[in-house]
Structure 1
Amino acid sequence: MHSTPAPGEQPSGYPGRDRLDDANRRFRRALARLAREGRRHDPDLLAEVERIAAEAAGTLDRLATVAVKAEGNSGRHRAALEREQQNLDRITRKLARRGGARG
């Protein structure tokens, strides 16, 4: 069931969460049915279950890496890096005035 936040409330999760949850639910059910079929009637199917699960895990790992990189490129992170760079520049200038910077 999908709920819409009341006016003024922050939505929980993130955009696309419902669709991802639905796809994940369908995937897990399909894989469970395939595994059950393999255990009951055709053990050769279990290798296919493992292959599909490994492929899905690899895809999700790659997408998690993409998400982490995207977060690191957020405006907030870029601003923090800029502040840190300004601080380092200030320290470098201060050391240079004192004769401590070697370049």
Structure 2
Amino acid sequence: MAALDVRLRGAHGVTLRDVLLLELLSRPDRRAHRICVLAQTLGVSPGALVGQVRRLEERGLVTRSPCQRDRRGILPRITSEGYARLHAVLDSQAYIGSTAGTD
């Protein structure tokens, strides 16, 4: 996984965990889930996910808004730049996978 993180950071400026979160947020059924639900789905602590969301927000890949039902809750949402970055990563990985083992 470390080698993949290095490739992703170099080519796209994101880690595998970032890609997993962006992919999860891009799903229609996951666009409005709170941090605690997303953290459980991803198998990370809510605190770690808050930090990750903050970093992605600083880079314009996600936004955060308060939960209407519970003001303490945070709802991260993928931005158009986040979609573009996710698709760039997925396209490049598909290409890498399709050319693996060929010379």
TM exceeds 0.5? no
Tell me which of the two structures has the higher relative contact order, counting C-alpha pairs closer than 8 angstroms and 6 or more residues apart. Answer: 2
Greater share of strand residues, 1 or 2? 2
TM-score, scaled to structure 2: 0.34
TM-score, scaled to structure 1: 0.34
Greater share of helix residues, 1 or 2? 1
